[in-house]
Amino acid sequence: MALGLVSYSTSLTRLSLESGPKFPFNRSRILPQSYKTRYLKIRAVQESEGPRRLVDIIRIIPDISKNYFRRRSRRALFGGISLLGGFYVAQTISLSFGALGVNDVIAAVICVLLTEYVTRFYYSRPKVTFSLALLNNFKMGFTYGLFIDAFKLAS
């Protein structure tokens, strides 16, 4: 039995040159296992298989994110991104209001009120969730950025 190789853009498929019709053929039976797992993961949703509406997909997002953030390295990475994001926002606010020279006092009051509200909200909760910890990391980066900018302006 002679086998020929036909090349497609996504994978290699082995076809029999002697037996019967060549198309249509079942790719999942012909392809090796490494190609099955790599190229055949996406498939159409049938009648009663999983969510099909946008609302159902949106309802699944909290479970997906909970499973995504189970690993400690991912939580640490996003915590660092949140901290640096707060630092960046503080530098941007300080630079924009400092360059304009108007509404400096109002911007400072709003920044202090927001940080105090986040602190009160964080420490009043009996259990700290991951999203709340990210918010607190953002606040810490924001406060650190304002302190660093104040030290730059004082020198």
Hey, where are the domains in the chain?
72-154
> Is a pLDDT exceeding 60 seen at residue 13?
no
> pTM value?
0.61
Range of lowest pLDDT (37-41, 51-55, 84-88, 139-143): 37-41
Average pLDDT rounded to a whole number, residues 62-87:
91
| Alpha-carbon span 69 to 22, nearest angstrom | 46
Residue 90: exposed, middle, or buried by beta-carbon count in 10 A (0-12, 13-18, 19+)?
Answer: buried
The stretches of the chain forming alpha helices (DSSP H) are: 27-30, 33-39, 54-68, 72-100, 104-124, 130-154
Tokens of 49: 């298989």
Separation between Cα atoms, residue 38 and residue 86, nearest integer Å: 39
